[in-house]
Amino acid sequence: MSESVITPDSSVVTLINVFTVEPADQQRLVEIWQRSTDETIRHLPGFVSANIHRSLDGSKVINYAQWESREAFIAMVNDPDAAAWLSQLAEIGTPAPALCDVVSVHRSA
């Protein structure tokens, strides 16, 4: 699996998916997301990387993922095995996905 490289001149597309979740279910959602990525999603064509984050207040789980193209991302969503995982995640929390291009990156001086 490649590491995420965040740069505005990259050809990858970025998925930022914020799941709202009950704090009691946050860790379960994280674990299922990790399993889905390890067992299925990272093996699909066009996958570059995924980074799973959890909010400190327990109410959110965020996935920052990169795909080689919009078409690769759409193919993943339509893949039956990946779709089954995505459905399972949506039963635990409410997703709010956004497919993005990196516009700019700012680093400390």
Q: State the virtual CA torsion across 74, 13, 1, 62 in degrees, nearest 10.
A: -90
Helix (H) or strand (E) holding 38: helix 26-39
pTM more than 0.85 = yes
Q: Is 19 in contact with 95 (CB distance < 8 Å)?
A: yes
How far is residue 36 from each of residues 10, 21, 51, 57, 102, measured CA to CA in Å? 26, 18, 13, 24, 25
Residue 2: what pLDDT? Answer: 64
* Residue 3 DSSP one-character state: P
CATH number for the 13-100 domain, one of 1.10.3720.10, 3.30.70.100, 3.50.50.60, 3.40.630.30? 3.30.70.100
Residues 6+ apart with CB under 8 A from 53: 61, 62, 63, 64
How far is residue 100 from each of residues 15, 26, 32, 42, 68, measured CA to CA in Å? 6, 25, 24, 19, 12
Per-residue pLDDT of the chain (109 residues; tens, 9 = 90+): 567 788 787 889 999 999 999 999 999 999 999 999 999 999 999 999 999 999 999 999 999 999 999 999 999 999 999 999 999 999 999 999 999 999 998 989 8
